[in-house]
Structures are given as structure tokens and as C-alpha cells.
Structure 1
């Protein structure tokens, strides 16, 4: 009997069931079974909200484009920054019979309960952007928020190595807001300990609110009689609030202010000199990676990255997304490299 050394794709029970007869014939012919099986894959993508420009114009846009290429059937929801709404959406996705869920948790701590429901239903979960703590997820897609915050704080101390600082932090229940605070303080602590820098206001702002950020900075300016060297912000939205407060006192452009996400409005503020920098993350690529990971998981493949993040329960494969600071010096070059974002119109 002759032995045939077959080097084609490996047929698993899961991919066989997904592919059906047509997919099996394609498999036997050596075609990509993933491409065949993807046509039957249903993916749910749950985002925290569509208020921030990035979620619709970058994350979801990147995901949608890749999902269409892969032939995925997909459903999307935005949770209005509400845990209750997100829990209902999560259960509805499971009821729809999705094969994979991509979850951007509104609250990283409570998301584990949602993930357990998916685990029970044997539905893989891609944890997106905000880390779901103590949750049995299959992979995490996101930037290194600690490193990101460190890079911005380093630029802050170069611009203002001494003086009063205001820390305008984001939504306390998210991993990114917590990690940003950690990264900022990693850099600022030696300056604080030496007395060169003093934190005169530090506050988490619910829902990354522009209005709450403006009120925080207004109160801090009153407290120190406008003697502020830097305002470290959690994202562009909170930076807008900070700049509004500074403008009211004639300080805009005279105080270091950072944002995160490099939204089109933030780009204009950088050009005007009111915003010193904004950190940009390739959220389009995040969305692309989410669609790709969903297709792999639905076909029974594991996500292997060589990089992990521990979420309190387990080491999770981490698909890291690039980020870097945008300033006047690199804005034009970044616009050429990432025209899908830097050429975008400001959403209303």
C-alpha cells in the first residue's frame, strides 16, 4: 500500500461542520477552508459607545472592511457607556447564535460575568481595547496604555520640568484609564518626590466627559490662582474641556496639554498651538485584527502572538497595536501615512 505524504490544510471537526459539503470539496482540492468556512461565521462586535469619533470612524470601520473581505456575517452594538445596556446586548448576541464575540467592556471588572456566559455557551471571546479583568477570554487586542502614558508624561516634563500639574483622568472603571494613571506617575513620581512637580488636582472623569474635565480644571485654576505648568489628560475629549478652561483664563497655548486619539479637532488644536500633543493609535488596524482573530477562533484556531497580558485570571495572548505622539513636527507626515484618519472630517 502506498503512503501519501499530505501537506495540505488540516481538517478539524469544527471546520468540517462549518464548511459543509461545498467546503469539504474545496478542502480536498487544497483551497483555503478558512475562506470557505468564514462565509458561515457570525460575529458580534460590542463597542462602548459611538460618542468618541474613533469607535465609528476607526475601530468599527477597520473591522467592517476586514469582515467583508473574510465573508463574515457580523452584528454590532454600542453600549452607550452603560453596563446594563451592554449586558443586555451581550445576551442578545448569544441568543442570535454568534460564533465569536468581540467585547469592549464598559466596566473591566464586571465584564468577567459576561464572559462566563459566553464560556458556558462555548463562544470564544475577543477582548477589545479595555482589559476584562479575571475573565477567560481568548485574546486581547489593544495598545500598551502604560507605555503610551509614559511617553506623554516624558514629553510633559521636557516641556515643563517643574510647577503645578493637573491630572485629568478618564473613566475609572476602564483598564486604560487606570493604566494611563500608572504610566503618568511612573514618570512624574521622581519629580514629585523631589518637589519639582506638585499635583494640585487629580480626578477620574465619568464617561471621559469633556464637561467634567473642564470643571475640574476650572476648579484647579481657581485653587492655585492660574499657576499651572501642565495639564495631563486622558483623551482628546477631556483635553477639549481642559483647553476651554485655560482659554477662559488666557492660558491656552501657554500650558502643556496632551490628548489621546489625535481626533481631527485635536489636530486643529495642535496646529493652533493650544494642544501640545495627542497620542495616536492605529485603531483601524485594531479593528482589522479583531475581525481576523474572530475568523481564526471560529475555525478552531488558537491565537498565538508571543506576547501576553495577565488579566488576573490567566495570561492572555496580546495583539499589541502601535501608538505614538502626534505633534506639529510629525502631523503632516502622519497624515500621509494614515490618510483614513488624518483626512477625516470632524463628526458632529
Structure 2
């Protein structure tokens, strides 16, 4: 069994990969029978890694894709030679090419987050958006969810929207630039890593009490930022459960068992009011 991660640069993907590995080990995939590949946010790298593993005779693969389109051919080629394929966390454009999908519905995740933002802003004000890598399933889906909710709130203006590639440092820099020229009531980030970067920039500008910050993934950094007042809210997509289920399904496929075509994680919005529920787990 092999796991292909889009990158390994933030807490979310590290938690996700660790949960896959832990469950795989519980199922007996240890040592050389389980390997993790880091795609480094590069489609060509991830495709090459998949091709290499298939050539070496891997039985089943779990892919957290760099791109919705770029790995489809590699998936189809793997399936042609009998390799079982689980797509994790972010869909590919031809999901039927794989055996199953485990992850969140990113559009509903984006909508759930933006509804909370609108509620907290009383449906008016200026917001900025920190997006994931352009064209990734997470970015596309969450942006659709954002837009579907914003269409109902004409008194809210998106005055800036840019990709920080899931990266904390990039998000900090973007937010610093926005703060110098804009009146902002909320920063809405598509993951907690970027939200934490935005919160740091806002803290350094002395504006924590005036600008709300939101993220996605309910990482420990994000949850602690809510406790400490730097962030206002985040949406959990059941990260560890996604990883566990993907390993289970991949093993089942390897052993010829039937699996559901998709398993969708449940969205839960966490704020200061309920954050202790998840921190106690």
C-alpha cells in the first residue's frame, strides 16, 4: 500500500497522512509494505511517484491529489494493471477513474463557513478571502460554497481574494498588504494554516478586536487560536477519520471486498462557544 500526499507543509496534511499510516500499520502494512510520497505541490512529481509505485508492484494506492485534472491519466493507468485506487480529501475531475473517494464535500464546507461569517457580521461589511492553490478541488469547491452564500448578502463586499497556497507565511504577507489599504471586517481563509497567518498579521497591526478570522480543518493551531482569541471560527472535516477510513477501504479493495463509491465527512463549525468539545477528544 502507498500513500501519495499533495504536500507535507502544514498541520492538516501531516495529521491526515499520520492517520492513514497509523491505520495501515494496524492492518499489517508495515515496513516496506507501506510508503508515503510527498508530491511537493507539483503535478509532475506526483504523477511520477504514482508511476514508480505501480512499476514496483504496489497493490493499492491512496492519493491526496495535487490537481483535479493532472493525475487522472496516472489513476487510469494504475487501474488498468489492477492497482486499487482511493482518492482522499480532494476529488479528481474524473472520479469514476478511481475505485472510491473519501473526503469532504468542499462546496458544502465553504458554504457552512461563509454562513457563519455572515451570521457574525450581521450580513454587512467588507471581507477578504485567502484561497488554496488555484484549481485544486479544495479551492474550487470552497470558493463555490463561499459564492453561493455571498449571493444572498448584497451588503457584503469581497474587496480582495487571492491564493496563499495553504501556506501560513504567504497568508501573513497577503494580509499585511491588505491591512495597509483596506477597511476589513473579516478574513475568510480556506484552511486554518492561512487563517493563523492572517491572525498573526492582524495581531501585529493591533486589530485583533476589530477583524474576525475564519479557517477550515479544525487543526490544533486553529483551535488554539480560537481559544486565544486570534481566530473566530473553523470548520472540521473529520481529518483523522478521513485518513483511517481511506486505509480501511484501500485494504478492503486489495483483498477483493466491495466498498462504497464515496464516503463523505461531516462538517462541524467550531467557535469559542463549542471549541472545548473537540479539544477534549
Q: TM-score, normalised by structure 2?
A: 0.92
Shift, 1:268, TM fit: 2.3
Say which of 94, 100, 112 aligns to 1:139: 100
Say which of 55, 62, 69 aligns to 1:102: 62
Say which of 111, 114, 117 aligns to 1:153: 114
| 1:269-348 alignment runs, 5 A limit | 269-304=225-260, 317-336=261-280, 338=281
Aligned length: 276
Partner of 1:70: 27
Unaligned runs of 5+ in 1: 1-42, 305-316, 339-348
Q: Is the 8 A contact 1:232 1:257 kept in 2?
A: yes
In 1, the alpha carbon distance for the partners of 2:136 and 2:6 equals 11
| 1:92-131 alignment runs, 5 A limit | 92-131=52-91
In 2, the alpha carbon distance for the partners of 1:60 and 1:217 equals 29
133-142 or 322-331, which deviates more: 322-331
Q: TM-score, normalised by structure 1?
A: 0.75
| 1:133-282 alignment runs, 5 A limit | 133-135=93-95, 136-160=97-121, 161-192=123-154, 196-205=155-164, 207-224=165-182, 227-282=183-238
**Structure with the greater alpha carbon radius of gyration:** 1
| 1:5-44 alignment runs, 5 A limit | 43-44=1-2
In 1, the alpha carbon distance for the partners of 2:247 and 2:221 equals 28
Q: Is the 8 A contact 1:150 1:184 kept in 2?
A: yes
Q: Is the 8 A contact 2:192 2:219 kept in 1?
A: yes
Deviating runs (4+, > 6 A) in structure 1?
Answer: none
User: Secondary structure of the equivalent of 2:227?
Assistant: helix
In 2, the alpha carbon distance for the partners of 1:179 and 1:51 equals 21
Give a deviation string over 1:104-156, Cα, whole Å, max 9, x none.
11111111121122022221211111111125011110012211111111111
In 2, the alpha carbon distance for the partners of 1:280 and 1:171 equals 20
User: Secondary structure of the equivalent of 1:191?
Assistant: coil
In 1, the alpha carbon distance for the partners of 2:278 and 2:167 equals 27
Shift, 1:188, TM fit: 1.1
172-181 or 262-271, which deviates more: 262-271
User: Secondary structure of the equivalent of 1:190?
Assistant: coil
User: Secondary structure of the equivalent of 1:180?
Assistant: helix
In 2, the alpha carbon distance for the partners of 1:84 and 1:222 equals 38
Is 1:59 aligned to 2:21, yes or no?
no
